[in-house]
A and B are shown apart, each in its own frame.
Chain A
Amino acid sequence: VTVFKMRAPGMSLNRIPIFVWAQVVTAFMVMFAMPAIMVASTCLILDRLVGTHFYNPAEGGDPLLWQHLFWFFGHPEVYIIFIPATGIVGTIIATFSRRHIFGYLALVVSLVATGFMGFGLWVHHMFAAGLPQLGQSFFTAASMMIIVPTALQIFGWIATLWTARRLQITVPFLYAASFFFVFIMGGLTGAMLASVPLDRQVHDTYFVVAHFHYVLIGGSTFPLLGGLVYWFPKITGRMMGERLGRWSFWLLFIGFNVTFFPMHLLGLAGMPRRVYTYPASMGWGSLNFLATVGAAIIFVSLLLFLINVITSLRAGAAAGSNPWGASTLEWATVSPPPPYNFLPQPTVASREPLWHGELTPPPIIGLGSEKREVLVTAVLDAEPDHRYKSPGPSLWPLLTAVATTVMFIWSIFQAMGLIWGAIPTFICLIGWFWPTKGKERLDSGAPDGLTLGEGLS
């Protein structure tokens, strides 16, 4: 809703930053995937607490129903983890290539297509559960098909790098670039696993463990750490140490590959997942030892990262508003941004407003300065539509969150916890909703109706 309705005027849909698009697609996927885990776990807890038989085959239930519902959530969840990371990679690559992202429209359409296709793959987690042949073939084809939009994004980034004006190899860039190597390795084993015969062969082996660590650490952890280094100056006002940053990046990159690459070989050699030991005669010892050494290197790298965060928080170089020379709007305000973000609110006239600084668009005036007033804009072209008063500070949301938490934790153990726990939750919600005289105003004593706009005009 924020992305659709509360943009800077002038930021039409085709000017939304690529990272924000990634978050929109993620939000939609959350909306349609989470109900599956909601239904699945509600049925599970009912089976456990009040004697229903959803998953009990003796009374007409079916454990496979759990698997379907769980993976209908579980597979989209992989993309919920992965898609924001692609937005981070695209942002970092464009910034340090000093040019707009190549094929913006194709990249956005790829993100949306990935969002849709992510819902058509869940059965590939269940190839060993004895499903009909036709279903397996369909889900193999669907799993192969999702390679297309993902590859399109990767080619878009390669084209951006290829035509870069001046490539800057910074720490965030290293994390984004490592995505190419690590994630594509995981994608290649993914294409192998999508095929049923190979999947059956290596099902529940370390090959699968290697695959999903390459996909998720490459497709999410590396970009997320890169994103943290990239936005750290905006969040805190200080830069992270570059030298220590390079050390922790390279240690992570090496440690990760030393840990997880041998698992491909272990899986192909038949080592099953989820075992804590195995007979020495299997001959898996040396590769497992290598993986353990890699894990120790990962530990050191993340420790260095943490030390870097702490020392930079205390003594990092002052960042200024736009240390990377980036193009998007968050870099237009000071670091760290004040609670109201901008004063006055900006408008934009291009996709890279900060790279077109000579055409500074007009700022916004006329929003209330004595109440928390925000501008609501139209969905397509973000024309100003109306003003909207945000609620003032209140304790009720916190109390509601606490009451809801108590209700759900209680309901894990006792069915009546849901009933009794709902009462304080409902009371808190009423307290939150009930209009309070004067509360919606901020602490200034200014009379109603005096706005910044009037002051200026």
Chain B
Amino acid sequence: VNATNAPPIALDVGMLPNHAFGFRSVMWWATICMIAIESMAFALAITSYLYLKGRVPHWPAGVPTPGLFWGTLNVVILVASAWPNLLARKAAERYDIAGVRLWMAIALAFALAFNIVRFLEFQQLNVRWDTNAYGSVTWFLLGLHTTHVLTDFMDSTVLAAVMFCGRVDENRFVDVSENAMYWNFVVLSWLPIYAVIYLAPRIV
């Protein structure tokens, strides 16, 4: 607009792109804020666990420690799911609809497997939520994380359905990319929660 040294008469933004990925997009910032809120909730839940643990001489009191098998298996599944998730994100950023469909479907399969194993995990906690405060806070931590994997599994399913049969424009690829970022948060948050649920009761 400003071809000469005269003051510009207008700022024409018509040639700017109609979407952007990563930290340039409003969706990225909104997702990061969501992650900050959820991280705070996880941190407070873990703090509550450690607070209650610190108040008694024996933890867990009068019940066996949780079984390690299913929880550890879920660490493997969830960490592995980061790979198809990353590929879905990369495909979205190249507007590769076939790649998005493929890798989202595979990532969803991992998420489904995780949720099934999570059901078995609850069976192996070896304590009920109403047995004592240890049981309550253990179920609370695992339940809080389950809420996240379950809801993320459901909204990823809806997003995948849109990518398969809905109207897809550039902003849907941005959605896939940010959805993949949120899944990384679900993966990463599981590691400290796993450590607290399964390892903290074994530290004397």
**Interface on A for B, CB 8 Å cutoff?**
1, 4-6, 9, 31-32, 34-36, 38-39, 42-43, 46-47, 50-54, 56, 59-62, 65, 68-69, 72, 344, 347, 362-367, 373, 375-376, 378-379, 384-389, 426, 429-430, 433-437, 451, 453-454, 456-457
In the complex, the answer to whether B20 meets A60 with C-beta atoms within 8 Å is no
**Contacts of B72 on A, CB cut-off 8 Å?**
none
A50-B129, A373-B18, A386-B24 known; 12 new pairs, CB 8 Å cut-off, are A35-B40, A36-B40, A46-B129, A51-B130, A60-B133, A364-B13, A366-B13, A367-B13, A376-B26, A386-B20, A430-B158, A433-B158
Assess whether A54 is in contact with B136, with CB atoms less than 8 Å apart: yes
Which of B38, B154, B172 is the most central at the interface, judged by chain A CB atoms within 10 Å of its CB? B154
Measured in the bound complex, the distance between the Cα atoms of B14 and A453 in whole Å is: 6
Cα A388 to Cα B136 in complex, Å, equals: 45
Contact status A52-B162, CB under 8 Å:
no
Known contacts A52-B136, A426-B154, A435-B167: A62-B10 contact under CB 8 Å: no
Which chain B residues lie closer than 8 Å to A375 at the CB level?
Answer: 13, 16
In the bound complex, CA of A35 to CA of B20 (Å): 30
Distance (whole angstroms) from the CB of B90 to the closest CB of chain A: 20
Interface SS, A side: mixed
Query: Is A50 in contact with B154, judged by CB distance below 8 angstroms?
Result: no
Does B8 lie within 8 Å of A451, measured CB to CB?
A: no
- Known contacts A54-B137, A72-B44, A365 near B166 by CB under 8 Å: no
Which of B28-36, B81-89, B103-111, B183-191 is the contact stretch? Answer: B28-36
Determine how close the nearest CB of chain A comes to the CB of B111; give it in whole angstroms: 16
- Interface residue tally for chain B (C-beta within 8 Å): 57
From known contacts A32-B36, A69-B48, infer whether A59 and B12 are also in contact, taking CB-CB under 8 Å. no
Residues of B contacting A5 in the complex (Cβ-Cβ under 8 angstroms): 26, 29
- The answer for the CA separation of A453 and B12 in the assembled complex, in Å, is 6
Q: Which residues of B contact A436 (CB under 8 A)?
A: 167
A-contact 0/1 string along B43-55, CB 8 Å cutoff: 0110010011001
Closest chain B residue to A53 by CB distance? B133
What chain A residues lie within 8 Å of B139 (beta carbons)?
Answer: 52
A37 → chain B, closest Cβ, in Å?
A: 10
Residues of B within 8 A of A9 (CB): 11
Contact of A454 among B14, B30, B48, B172 (CB under 8 A): B14
Whether A388 lies near B18 (C-beta < 8 A) is yes
Q: How would residues 131 to 170 of chain B score, 1 for a CB under 8 Å from any chain A CB and 0 otherwise?
A: 1111111011000000000000011001100100011110
Asked if A52 and B129 make an inter-chain contact with CB atoms under 8 angstroms apart, the answer reads yes
**A52-B29 contact given A38-B41, A362-B10, A384-B16, CB 8 Å threshold:** no
Q: Which of B8, B140, B162 is close to A362, meaning CB atoms less than 8 Å apart?
A: B8
Residues of chain B with a CB closer than 8 A to A376's CB:
20, 24-26
Residues of B within 8 A of A35 (CB): 37-38, 40-41, 44
Point out the residues of chain B lying under 8 angstroms from A42, CB to CB: 140
A36 CA to B46 CA, complexed, in Å? 12
* A112 CB, min distance to chain B CBs, angstroms: 16
For A365, give its contact among B12, B159, B169 (CB under 8 Å): B12
Residues of chain A within 8 A of B162, CB atoms compared: 433-435
In the bound complex, do residue A386 and residue B18 qualify as a contact, i.e. CB atoms below 8 Å apart? yes
Interface residues of B (CB under 8 A from A): 1, 7-20, 23-26, 29-30, 33, 36-38, 40-41, 44-45, 48, 51-52, 55-56, 61, 129-137, 139-140, 154-155, 158-159, 162, 166-169, 171-172
* Chain A residue at smallest Cβ distance from B32: A1
19 A-B contact pairs sorted by A residue (CB < 8 Å) = A1-B33, A32-B40, A35-B41, A39-B44, A39-B48, A52-B133, A54-B136, A68-B51, A362-B11, A363-B10, A364-B13, A379-B23, A384-B11, A384-B13, A386-B19, A429-B155, A430-B158, A435-B167, A451-B14
Partner of A34, one of B17, B37, B132: B37
> Within the complex, what minimum Cβ distance (angstroms) separates A70 from chain B?
11
A35-B44, A366-B15 as given contacts; A437 in contact with B61, CB under 8 Å: no
Contact A365 B10 (CB under 8 A): yes
User: Which among B12, B16, B37, B52 is the interface contact of A65 at CB below 8 angstroms?
Assistant: B52
**CB pair B26 A456 closer than 8 Å:** no
> Would you call B14 and A46 a contact (CB within 8 A)?
no
In the A-B complex, the 3 residue pairs with the smallest Cβ-Cβ separation, listed nearest first, are A366-B14, A453-B14, A60-B133
Residues in B whose Cβ lies below 8 Å from that of A50: 129-130
CA distance A373 to B26 in the complex (A): 13
Known: A365-B11, A430-B158. A6 touches B26 (CB 8 A): yes
Q: How far is the CB of A301 from chain B (nearest CB, A)?
A: 39
User: Which residues of A lie under 8 Å from residue B26 when comparing CB positions?
Assistant: 1, 5-6, 376, 388
List A contacts of B172 (CB < 8 A): 435
**Which residues of B sit under 8 angstroms from A430, Cβ to Cβ?**
158
Bound complex: CA A32 to CA B43 (Å): 11
* Bound CA span A365–B132, Å: 64
Q: Which residue of B lies closest to A387 (CB)?
A: B18
Q: How far is the CA of A365 from the CA of B1 in the complex (A)?
A: 11
Q: Which residues of B contact A53 (CB under 8 A)?
A: 130, 132-133, 135-136
- Please indicate the chain B residues that have their CB under 8 angstroms from the CB of A457 in the complex: 12
Residue of B with least CB distance to A344: B10
Q: Write the nearest CB–CB distance from B177 to chain A, whole angstroms.
A: 14
Given contacts A5-B26, A385-B20, contact A60 B140 (CB under 8 A): no
| Minimal Cβ-Cβ distance residue in B for A27 | B33
Contact present for B20 and A389 (CB under 8 Å): no
Closest to A36 in B: B44
